C-alpha cells in the first residue's frame, strides 16, 4: 500500500478573538493518523479559561457593534474575503484533513469546497436579507425587526470540521453575531488552518474564536452565561445533555444530531441507476456522515436481485490509503470508532441478519483503523442494526411488500435527518418523499444539501442550518409598535 501522508503542521497558539495567543494551560492534543496509527502533529488543547477569554472577547465585540455597524456591503465583502482566504489554503486544508481524519482526498475536497460555498452563499443571502418589515393590524402599525441573537457557542464534530464550522460561522456572522467555535479533540488541525483564513480576512477584533477541546470544555461553553445561543452538531446523546443545560437559562439552541436515514427503492427502479448516488450516500467517508443513508428498503419481489447488485457494488469499493487516487473508503477516524462499528457488526450477526459482504477488517492491512464496507440482508427494522446509528460503512437491506409498508418502515425510526426515494416514476417518487418524516429527502438521487435548509425531525435535531432559515436561526424577532 502506498502512503502519501502529507505534512501536518503543529501549532502552539490558540485563536482567541481573532488573535493568536498563548493558551492558558500546557495541555496539548496529540493528533494520530488513522492510517499509520502514528502521531503526526500536536496542537494546544483549550481549557475553560481560554473559553472564558473567548466569550468575553465575543461579548465585547458584539456589544461594541464593531461588526453590526459596518455597512452591509462591507460585511458581505468580509464574508467573501473569508471564502477567498479558505480557497487560498485549500491544498493544505484538504491534505491535512485527509491525514488527520483519514478521509479520501475526493471526500476531503468535497467537504472543503462546501466550506467555500457556505461563505459565498451566506454573503449572497446577506446582500438582500430582510432584517425588518412594516406591518399593519387593526388600528395599529409597527415594525418587525430581526436582530442578531448575540454571542454564539458553536460546537462541532470531527467528521468535516472546516465545513461544519463554516456553515455555522458564515450564517451567524451574516446575522450579526459573534462566535466561539469548539471543534472536537479528533482531527483539530484543519480548524487551525480555518483560523488562519479568518485572521487573514481581517474581521473585527473579538468576533471569532476557534478553540478545540474535549467534552468538558464544550460543556463549559454551553453553560457560559455570556453565550446567548448554542449551535451544536454531534451525537443525539450529547445533544440531549446540551439541550438540558441550555434549559437552565433558556439559552437558544439549535441541534444537528444523528440519523438512520432510509432509501426506498420502488419496484420499477433501475438498480444500476440507483447505485452511483446510493453508494457514496451510504458508505462515503466510511459512513461517518450524519445524513448517511444506511437503511435500504427494497421490494420483496426484487429483494434478492437488489441485495446481489448492492453487495457486489460494495464489495468492489477500494479501501485503503486516503491519498491513493483510486481509494473510495479510508480508515475510520479512531480505534474507538472501529471498535464501535465492529461491535455493531457482531450485534447484527447475533440478531440473525446475514452478512452479504464485508463484516471484518480488510485482509493484509495490519495498520490503520480500516473496516470493510458491510451489507447486512434479511434485516428486520426492529433489529438494533436497523435502529441505532453505527457511524461506519454498514448498510442494512430491509424487504418490504408494498409502498405502505415501505413508508411505515422508513418512518419507524427515532431519527429523521435525510433519506432518498428511487422510482421509475418521478411523480410517485415525489409523493412518497412527502410522506417521510425527515428534514431532507432526495428523489432519484441521494446526498447532502447544506446551502438550503438542513436539519432533523424527531431525535435528529431541532432547528435548521443552511439557506435563509440558517441565518434566521441566529436572529431574535422584535416588534416595535406604533399607534397601539
Ligand atoms: P459527539 O456528540 O461525541 O461530539 C461532537 C462535539 O460535541 C465534539 O466537539 C465534542 O467534544 C462535543 N461534546 C460532546 N459532548 C458534549 C457535551 N455534553 N457538552 C458540550 N460539548 C460536547 O459526536 P462525535 O462522535 O464527535 O460525532 C459523531 C456524531 O455527530 C454522530 O452522531 C453524527 O450523526 C453527528 N453528526 C451530526 C451532524 C448533523 O448535521 N446532523 C453532522 C455531523 C455529525
Tell me the pLDDT tens digit for each residue of 177-214: 999 999 999 999 999 999 999 999 999 999 999 999 99
* Ligand 1 center–CA 235 separation, angstroms: 4
Alpha carbons 387 and 73: distance in angstroms, whole number:
48
Residue 94, all three cell numbers: 484538504
Residue 5: predicted pLDDT: 65
| Same-domain check for residues 102 and 23 | yes
The contacts of residue 290 (CB under 8 Å, 6+ apart) are: 159, 233, 256, 257, 258, 259, 417, 418, 460
pLDDT beyond 60 at 136 = yes
Tell me the pLDDT tens digit for each residue of 323-360: 999 999 999 999 999 999 999 999 999 999 999 999 99
Q: For the chain, what is the domain count?
A: 2
Probe target for ligand 1 pocket from 158, 234, 339, with the most ligand atoms within 8 Å of CB: 234
| Same-domain check for residues 429 and 443 | yes
- Looking at residue 38, the DSSP 8-state letter turns out to be S
* Ligand 1 center–CA 258 separation, angstroms: 9
pLDDT beyond 60 at 3 = no
The contacts of residue 282 (CB under 8 Å, 6+ apart) are: 263, 292, 293, 294, 296, 393, 395, 446
- Work out the percent of the chain whose per-residue pLDDT is above 90: 98
| Same-domain check for residues 250 and 266 | no
Residue 6: predicted pLDDT: 78
Residues of the domain holding 251: 14-257+460-481
pLDDT beyond 50 at 249 = yes
Tell me the pLDDT tens digit for each residue of 399-410: 999 999 999 999
* Ligand 1 center–CA 257 separation, angstroms: 7
pLDDT beyond 80 at 425 = yes
Probe target for ligand 1 pocket from 164, 238, 243, 452, with the most ligand atoms within 8 Å of CB: 238
**Per-state percent for the chain, helix, strand, coil, to nearest 5:** 40, 20, 40
Within a domain: 455? no
Q: In the beta sheet, which residues pair with residue 306?
A: none
| 163 Cβ closer than 6 Å to some ligand 1 atom | no
| 159 Cβ closer than 6 Å to some ligand 1 atom | yes
* Ligand 1 center–CA 298 separation, angstroms: 31
| 187 Cβ closer than 6 Å to some ligand 1 atom | no
Residue 483 banded pLDDT, cuts 50, 70, 90:
confident
The contacts of residue 65 (CB under 8 Å, 6+ apart) are: none
| Same-domain check for residues 196 and 274 | no
Q: Domain holding 115: CATH number?
A: 3.40.605.10
Q: Ligand 1: which residue has its CA nearest to atom 31? A: 235
| Same-domain check for residues 420 and 366 | yes
| pTM listed for this prediction | 0.97
Q: Domain holding 382: CATH number?
A: 3.40.309.10
Alpha carbons 145 and 88: distance in angstroms, whole number:
37
| Same-domain check for residues 253 and 288 | no
| Same-domain check for residues 210 and 93 | yes
Probe target for ligand 1 pocket from 118, 235, 291, 414, with the most ligand atoms within 8 Å of CB: 235
Q: Ligand 1: which residue has its CA nearest to atom 35? A: 234
Within a domain: 5? no
A 10 A CB-CB count for 361 gives 16
Amino acid at each position: 500500500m502506498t502512503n502519501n501522508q502529507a505534512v501536518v503542521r503543529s501549532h502552539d497558539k490558540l485563536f482567541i478573538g481573532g488573535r493568536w495567543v498563548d493558551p492558558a494551560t500546557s495541555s496539548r492534543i496529540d493528533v494520530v493518523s488513522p492510517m499509520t496509527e502514528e502521531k503526526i502533529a500536536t496542537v494546544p488543547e483549550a481549557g475553560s479559561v481560554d473559553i472564558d477569554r473567548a466569550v468575553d472577547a465575543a461579548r465585547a465585540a458584539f456589544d461594541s457593534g464593531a461588526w453590526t455597524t459596518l455597512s452591509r456591503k462591507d460585511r458581505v465583502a468580509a464574508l467573501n474575503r473569508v471564502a477567498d482566504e479558505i480557497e487560498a489554503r485549500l491544498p493544505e486544508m484538504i491534505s491535512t484533513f485527509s491525514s488527520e481524519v483519514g478521509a479520501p482526498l475526493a471526500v476531503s475536497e468535497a467537504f472543503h469546497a462546501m466550506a467555500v460555498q457556505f461563505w459565498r452563499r451566506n454573503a449572497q443571502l446577506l446582500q438582500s436579507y430582510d432584517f425588518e418589515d412594516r406591518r399593519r393590524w387593526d388600528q395599529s402599525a409597527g415594525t418587525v425587526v430581526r436582530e442578531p441573537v448575540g454571542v454564539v457557542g458553536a460546537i462541532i464534530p470531527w467528521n468535516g470540521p472546516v465545513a461544519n464550522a463554516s456553515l455555522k460561522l458564515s450564517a451567524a456572522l451574516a446575522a450579526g453575531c459573534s462566535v466561539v467555535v469548539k471543534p472536537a479533540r479528533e482531527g483539530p488541525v484543519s480548524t487551525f488552518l480555518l483560523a488562519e483564513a479568518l485572521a487573514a480576512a481581517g474581521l473585527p477584533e473579538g468576533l471569532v474564536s476557534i478553540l478545540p477541546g474535549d467534552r468538558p470544555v464544550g460543556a463549559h461553553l454551553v453553560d457560559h452565561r455570556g453565550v446567548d445561543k448554542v449551535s451544536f452538531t454531534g451525537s443525539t446523546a450529547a445533544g440531549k445533555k446540551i439541550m438540558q443545560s441550555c434549559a437552565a437559562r433558556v439559552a437558544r439552541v439549535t441541534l444537528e444530531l444523528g440519523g438512520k436515514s432510509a432509501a426506498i427503492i420502488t419496484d420499477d427502479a433501475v438498480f444500476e441507476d440507483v447505485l452511483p448516488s446510493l453508494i457514496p450516500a451510504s458508505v462515503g467517508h466510511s459512513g461517518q456522515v450524519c445524513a448517511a443513508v444506511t437503511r435500504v428498503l427494497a421490494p420483496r419481489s426484487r429483494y434478492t436481485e437488489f441485495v446481489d447488485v448492492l453487495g457486489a457494488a460494495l464489495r468492489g469499493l477500494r479501501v485503503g490509503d486516503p491519498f491513493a487516487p483510486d481509494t473510495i473508503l479510508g480508515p475510520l477516524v479512531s480505534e474507538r470508532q472501529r471498535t464501535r462499528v465492529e461491535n455493531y457488526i457482531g450485534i447484527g450477526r447475533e440478531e440473525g441478519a446475514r452478512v452479504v459482504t464485508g463484516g471484518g477488517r480488510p485482509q493484509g492491512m495490519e495498520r490503520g483503523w480500516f473496516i470493510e464496507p458491510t451489507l447486512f440482508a434479511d434485516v428486520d427494522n426492529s433489529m438494533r442494526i436497523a435502529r441505532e446509528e453505527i457511524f461506519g460503512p454498514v448498510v442494512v437491506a430491509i424487504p418490504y411488500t408494498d409502498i405502505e409498508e415501505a413508508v411505515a418502515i422508513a418512518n419507524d425510526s427515532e431519527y429523521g435527518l435525510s433519506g432518498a426515494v428511487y422510482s421509475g416514476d418521478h411523480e410517485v417518487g415525489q409523493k412518497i418523499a412527502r410522506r417521510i418524516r425527515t428534514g431532507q429527502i432526495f428523489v432519484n438521487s441521494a446526498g447532502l444539501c447544506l446551502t438550503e435548509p438542513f436539519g432533523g425531525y424527531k431525535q435528529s435535531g431541532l432547528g435548521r442550518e443552511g439557506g435563509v432559515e440558517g441565518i434566521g436561526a441566529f436572529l431574535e424577532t422584535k416588534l416595535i409598535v406604533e399607534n397601539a
